[in-house]
Chain A
């Protein structure tokens, strides 16, 4: 497993620097937009004030609406005051104008009255009075009645005659009082005779005749006395701020009398118009809008908070994952990596983000296949069950990874890239390989122990007849000697018979000793010697099968360090197998007694590297037909109907015990090729044994059995 120590200093420093996910430093998950080439990292923590401002943002439109409404109100107020002032000015001007006109009229009446008074005789009756032009004119004009009093206040005459006589005579000056027709006013003038002329008139009539229509339309025009009593004009209403009024004294034309103008229409203050309603409506709607806004903002804030929490969660999850994550856009550019991924490939995010294929972590010898896989992924054909790739860390260590690709989809459902999760299976694969090696070792052990059993039984069975042969031969030799037999070569032959039986027993013993885990007895010997001894033993079989055996040994082959008896047996076994394969060919059997077409077998020896000699046994038979060395060398596996299936199993064990490898493949002669390697004498390792990779070059067309030296065989006894 890779440890943090294995990382280069930069990555380690990084890992130390950013151990805890900070909300502000989280990579933006939506950064996989094509435009974004780097995770968007929002700025530092915002201040409380700014946060407050943001939180209160919804109130701003409402506050502005209030301000606007207040402005409108202020403006209206100002406008109203200005209008009132204007109205008042107009009122004053109108009042003064009217007053002067009234005064003119009254002064004219007084003049008339003076003329009348001056013109009246001392004794006047009613008829005379009426005949007076001033009286006629006056009555016609304004006057209601004219009363002439003498100095003793007795009525001398009156016009019209039926005019009621006042009970109480008014004072010498203007007086007012209520008569039947309304309030009337009096003009009094002393006569030269000491009497008085009193003219009664109605101020209302006066007003009616004097006030122009346009004024009457605008104002209530009244005449009031000093006490505020109405003398003429419409009934008084309460003056208010909104009904402006103004009094002007009618002096000197009319003592103690005031002209009062009151605006006909009350000024409507702005707040009693539709404006405040509109404003209220506006403010209300603004408030509603603000409330809606506030709700939306709160939802937004909640959503954002949820998103931040989620992002923090996902960030923490991503960082705690041992699975590497790699986000890429549609062009294959890396837009997102998590820490596990960085640790895995031993590179910093800065190096990786924005990188485009070929990526820096691809193994140099895998560039082409990596690029093909990349094209496949971007085309959307990445296998769902994931695929394996071989990468390389920054410091050059190989990295086996399993990659699962999934499309990245944005909020609109458009695909924006690919997200790959990457699992480091280097350790797992190593463990698997270790396990496989272990299993293979176990299989070898099992094979050996089975072979041991078989060989033991075989040895016993073979030894009995061999012992008998030996015994008989010894007995015959002895008896011939005793009988003075005169043909020493016969005696010698019988003795040889016994010796050969003994030799056969020795071979059986050796093989049995080997498979019952005794180290082979290695010695320095020449490959040529082994081959020639083996071919000599095979001579008869070859001749019988009309098979041509050719030895092709390279010149200057180095001596090998092997047990010659065992290696001879292996070679004999391989050649016998080839012979059997040739004789089993279709046609070979059917020809029966006729000599078979005869196959070819070739034994070839070459050096393989500096430490091994490689021996190939080729034939032009039917070949292996896809059966590999594992199956071939399994105990009791045989292609022959009468075979025990032990030959190759033993051969393989023998070769492996010599640190070599037994291989099977296709021959250029057209049939099978079985090869084994033997260690060169001067390079034979004592310990440790060569690793599987160095043990023998692997033929491209053959399955290979890695040399697995037996633990027992490693240590020479």
Chain B
């Protein structure tokens, strides 16, 4: 399934007319659209994609009032599945407490029906851009992780000490090895991680740790 990798707007609404209208509108704006008639239907697709190691891309547009699973419940389910996609709510009777609740749980936006078409399209485009950005960042982090994973334990120990700015001599003392050996490990780490200086290494490490690596 190559489609799994294409960023799309995933529309969940139990009202067929609304679903169809949004689908039409977004397609006219050259956006990829996938529609789902209910929450469980989306969850099934979400799980299937995750199992196939080709998770869904794009953003989610959820109607609030649906049967059997409301938009807010669906959101909770997605949070439980570590959903990384931006979520937008579409409500026919938006009320403030519900919106606040949804936003506090990480929803990106709350759009009231009936919507103005430009506004809806614009927000969805923004959400897609955000997702693309996040996706890129995630991919990059994963690559760095792979590089860090390629280090041997000894190289890792040397690398951590280099990142804190210690001199080779000090590292040799701490690890009970010859200064020369430390130098070899150091150059190998630099090559494997693709950095050219201790400062660069420290920045990379800090970024990686901040991302939870």
Seen from chain A, the residues whose Cβ lies within 8 Å of a Cβ on chain B are 456, 459-460, 463-479, 482, 498-499, 501-502, 504-505, 509, 512
Q: CB within 8 Å of A: which of B9-49? A: 15, 17-18, 20-22, 24-29
The majority secondary structure among interface residues of chain B is helix
CB distance from A469 to the nearest CB of B (A): 7
Report, nearest first, the 10 A-B pairs whose CB atoms are least far apart.
A474-B117, A471-B21, A463-B92, A475-B25, A478-B28, A467-B113, A466-B114, A505-B114, A475-B24, A468-B17
User: How many angstroms between the C-alpha atoms of A639 and B15 in the bound complex?
Assistant: 34
Are B93 and A468 in contact, with the CB atoms below 8 A? no
- Interface size class of chain B, counting residues whose CB lies under 8 Å from the partner chain: 20 to 34
Residues on A with C-beta less than 8 A from B114 are 463, 466-467, 469-470, 501-502, 504-505
**Given A456-B93, A471-B24, A479-B28, are A465 and B116 also a contact pair (CB < 8 Å)?**
no
User: How many angstroms between the C-alpha atoms of A518 and B93 in the bound complex?
Assistant: 14
User: How many angstroms between the C-alpha atoms of A482 and B28 in the bound complex?
Assistant: 8
Partner of B27, one of A460, A466, A475, A504: A475
Residues on B with C-beta less than 8 A from A478 are 25, 28-29, 117
Interface centre among B28, B113, B120 (most CB of A within 10 A): B113
Partner of A464, one of B15, B28, B120: B15
Q: CB within 8 Å of A: which of B106-130? A: 112-118, 120-121
Residues on A with C-beta less than 8 A from B115 are 467, 470-471, 502
6 contacts between A and B (CB under 8 A): A456-B93, A460-B65, A460-B92, A463-B92, A467-B21, A478-B25
Are A475 and B92 in contact, with the CB atoms below 8 A? no
Residues on A with C-beta less than 8 A from B90 are 467
Residues on A with C-beta less than 8 A from B65 are 460
Contact with A along B58-95 (1 / 0, CB 8 A): 00000001000000000000000000000000101100
Interface centre among B15, B22, B28, B112 (most CB of A within 10 A): B28
Are A477 and B117 in contact, with the CB atoms below 8 A? yes
Partner of A512, one of B20, B28, B93, B118: B93
Residues on A with C-beta less than 8 A from B28 are 474-476, 478-479, 482
Are A472 and B18 in contact, with the CB atoms below 8 A? no
Are B92 and A471 in contact, with the CB atoms below 8 A? no
Interface centre among A474, A482, A502, A505 (most CB of B within 10 A): A474
CB distance from B94 to the nearest CB of A (A): 9
CB distance from B100 to the nearest CB of A (A): 17
Are A468 and B15 in contact, with the CB atoms below 8 A? yes
User: How many angstroms between the C-alpha atoms of A436 and B15 in the bound complex?
Assistant: 46
CB distance from A455 to the nearest CB of B (A): 10
Residues on B with C-beta less than 8 A from A463 are 92-93, 113-114
Q: Find the B residue at minimum CB distance from A455.
A: B93
CB distance from A494 to the nearest CB of B (A): 10
Residues on B with C-beta less than 8 A from A509 are 112
Residues on B with C-beta less than 8 A from A470 are 21, 113-117
Are A464 and B113 in contact, with the CB atoms below 8 A? yes
Are A498 and B116 in contact, with the CB atoms below 8 A? yes
CB distance from A511 to the nearest CB of B (A): 12
Q: Find the A residue at minimum CB distance from B64.
A: A460
Residues on B with C-beta less than 8 A from A479 are 28
User: How many angstroms between the C-alpha atoms of A474 and B27 in the bound complex?
Assistant: 11
Q: Find the A residue at minimum CB distance from B15.
A: A464
CB distance from A429 to the nearest CB of B (A): 44
Are A471 and B22 in contact, with the CB atoms below 8 A? yes
Residues on B with C-beta less than 8 A from A472 are 21, 24-25
Residues on B with C-beta less than 8 A from A468 are 15, 17-18, 20-21
User: How many angstroms between the C-alpha atoms of A456 and B91 in the bound complex?
Assistant: 12
Are A459 and B92 in contact, with the CB atoms below 8 A? yes
Residues on B with C-beta less than 8 A from A474 are 25, 28, 116-118, 120-121
Are B93 and A498 in contact, with the CB atoms below 8 A? no
User: How many angstroms between the C-alpha atoms of A468 and B24 in the bound complex?
Assistant: 10
Are B25 and A469 in contact, with the CB atoms below 8 A? no
User: How many angstroms between the C-alpha atoms of A476 and B28 in the bound complex?
Assistant: 8
Are B93 and A467 in contact, with the CB atoms below 8 A? no
User: How many angstroms between the C-alpha atoms of A298 and B20 in the bound complex?
Assistant: 113
CB distance from A365 to the nearest CB of B (A): 53
User: How many angstroms between the C-alpha atoms of A471 and B20 in the bound complex?
Assistant: 9
User: How many angstroms between the C-alpha atoms of A460 and B20 in the bound complex?
Assistant: 18
Residues on B with C-beta less than 8 A from A465 are 17
Q: Find the A residue at minimum CB distance from B92.
A: A463
User: How many angstroms between the C-alpha atoms of A479 and B116 in the bound complex?
Assistant: 16
CB distance from B61 to the nearest CB of A (A): 11
